[in-house]
Amino acid sequence: MRATRIVLSVATCAMVVLSAVSNAEAQRMYNTAKQKVLSGQQIVGGTVDTPDPQIYCAMANAGFDFIWIEMQHSPLSYQDVARMIWACKDAPAIPFIRVPDATEGDIQKATDIGALGIIVPMVITPEEMENAVQWAKYPPMGIRSQGGGQYRAIWGNDYRQTANDNIMIIAMIEQLEGVEQANAIASVTGVDAIFAASSDLGSFSGRRQGDPEYERMITKIKDDTLGADKVLGGPSAWRDREGFLFFQAPGTTTFIRNGVRAMLADAPEGVAAIEGTEPRD
């Protein structure tokens, strides 16, 4: 009997250890942007809407926390974006995709090619985000299909066990209906952040930033988001606004234009650069 008790005790200890290891693996975090923003730090993502992998790599290695891959307002295909993400799979900036629409197919394709952030545009009801969370998360949290894709080659063999913790879900509020439903949208379990779409809110409301009615909408989104203990996002020009932590920076054309202007205005003199010695990202 004593020997039996010893064997059972050893087996129990082994099960506890294995359970602890399993739980530790499930908590492995590789979405550094999500880690940072959930700790209360600001994160900024540069916008990419071109299929050129070299441009994507330049942006992904430029110092951004994440890259906002623009598929709603661009001709980018999922094949294009898969190549872009793979080209710089070791870059520090985490790939986020603004999907064309909050459909099961769009969201599952985005996650299958390696996106760790899903940005859902034009949200006006909490049901839209409930569906988005379901399609982005594996069981038991959601109903994402096992499928295939390059996600495991990028994020590790334990992706299936860790993806739910690492994927970040962002709802964009752009319309007046979305403003009115902001509290319900922000309260959806699994939604990590609410993004106040500055330009579209102005377009749909006919109000400009600074107008009292415009600012009332932003304040409502802010109060509802923070009241639900979620992250608040907006354009990078709003980095000084209280409560905002998640920011979209301009696109590649803006940075190229500004970079050229800065270079021409402050061109160094002396020894010319040696061709072929530029950093390769």
pLDDT tens for each residue of 97-139: 999 999 999 999 999 999 999 999 999 999 999 999 999 999 9
* 159, 151 contact by CB (below 8 A): yes
- pLDDT in the model for residue 113: 98
* 128, 186 contact by CB (below 8 A): no
- For 39, residues 6+ apart whose C-beta sits below 8 A from its C-beta are none
Domain ranges of the chain: 30-265
Q: Report d(CA 48, CA 67) in Å as an integer.
A: 7
Q: Report d(CA 199, CA 182) in Å as an integer.
A: 17
Cis peptide before 75 (omega within 30 of 0): no
- Say yes or no to pLDDT of 1 above 60: no
pTM: 0.86
Average predicted confidence (pLDDT) for the chain: 90
For residue 234, what is the DSSP state?
A: E
Q: Report d(CA 152, CA 191) in Å as an integer.
A: 23
User: Exactly one of 8, 13, 73, 239 is catalytic; which is it?
Assistant: 73
* Window from 179-183, 219-223, 261-265 with minimum mean pLDDT: 261-265
pLDDT tens for each residue of 66-103: 999 999 999 999 999 999 999 999 999 999 999 999 99
Longest dimension (CA), the chain: 87
C-alpha pair distances (Å), 35 with each of 65, 118, 194, 218, 277:
11, 15, 17, 25, 34
Please state the φ and ψ torsions of residue 21, each to the nearest 5 degrees.
-65, -45
**CA nearest to 194, candidates 163, 224, 167, 164:** 224
Q: What residue type is 107 in one-letter code?
A: I
Residue 239 known to be catalytic? no
Of 3.30.1330.10, 3.90.1150.10, 3.20.20.60, 3.40.50.720, which CATH number belongs to 30-265? 3.20.20.60
Q: Report d(CA 195, CA 210) in Å as an integer.
A: 18
Tally the residues of the chain.
281
Q: Report d(CA 188, CA 37) in Å as an integer.
A: 19
Q: Report d(CA 35, CA 178) in Å as an integer.
A: 27
